[in-house]
Amino acid sequence: MKYAFRLTTLLLIAALAASCAGAPPPQPQPVPESVPESVPEPAPAAPEPAPIAEPAPIQNPELEANLALAQERRVYIEKHGLERYAPESFGKAEDLFRMAQEEAGKDRPSAAAHVAEALPLYDATTKNGFGKKIEEKKVLADTARARADAEKAKVAEKAGYAAAETAYSDAKKSFASSLYPEALASYEKAAAGFDAAAKIAMERRVAAEAAMERANQAIRSTEERLNAIDEEIRQEEINEDGAAQ
């Protein structure tokens, strides 16, 4: 019985050894790397408050157009020197225009009202200024025309007088059509034409008078000589009659 127990024990040991020999050797396990402690990220800085933007001005195309139109009329008036002839309306218009410019960036409705009020005043300055300036030129043309008529230039300098008359007529038509610069230019042309015609007629008159005076002088000289001859003949006849007696 002891023999059988020992045999069984040996068989168990052999079986256990055989099973251990066929199993794969244990593999070494990788050593895990040490994970560094995580550093907390800094908290984002608080954004700076955005600056408060100025409110954009309300667009007003009509205001912009009227400001530009007023500026054009100001330049036109000064170009033709009309502010001297209508200083009151021009001064008021200028005050309103400056107010509109100052208010354009902050009170556009008020600026629009002021420039709208200035525009008709600029128009009045243009109309009245041209009216007075043209009247001055017309007076000069009328005065020159009177001189030409006094010198009989319509006959003595027919072509020049006719050209001046045409310019004078053109000036009246231009003024009636509100073509003020053209009217001014035509009255100036007429005045110059009448003056030139009067001068030429005067020169011709003076030359004719001088020629007539020379002719008269010659006639007087001839008459005097004839009278002298007649006197000599008469004296000779008297002497001959006396000698005969």
| All structural domains of the chain with their residue ranges | 61-196
pLDDT in the model for residue 228: 80
Residue 33: the pLDDT is 53
Residue 238 banded pLDDT, cuts 50, 70, 90: confident
Check whether 35 has a pLDDT greater than 60: no
Tokens 């001064």 -> residue: 91
Do residues 94 and 117 make contact, with C-beta atoms less than 8 angstroms apart?
no
Ranges 135-144, 173-182, 207-216: which has the least confidence = 207-216
Nearest to 109, CA basis, from 117, 100, 120? 100
**The two structure tokens encoding residue 118:** 């200035």
Question: Considering only CA atoms, which of 110, 115, 116 is closest in space to residue 58?
Answer: 110
| Portion of the chain with pLDDT greater than 90, in percent | 55
What is the rounded CA–CA span in Å between residue 114 and residue 103? Answer: 9
The alpha-helical segments, DSSP class H, found in the chain are 2-22, 61-79, 87-103, 108-150, 153-156, 158-176, 180-244
The one-letter amino acid at 9? T
The structure's pTM equals 0.60
Identify the pLDDT of residue 57: 53
Q: Nearest Cα to 184, choosing from 120, 107, 129, 241? A: 129
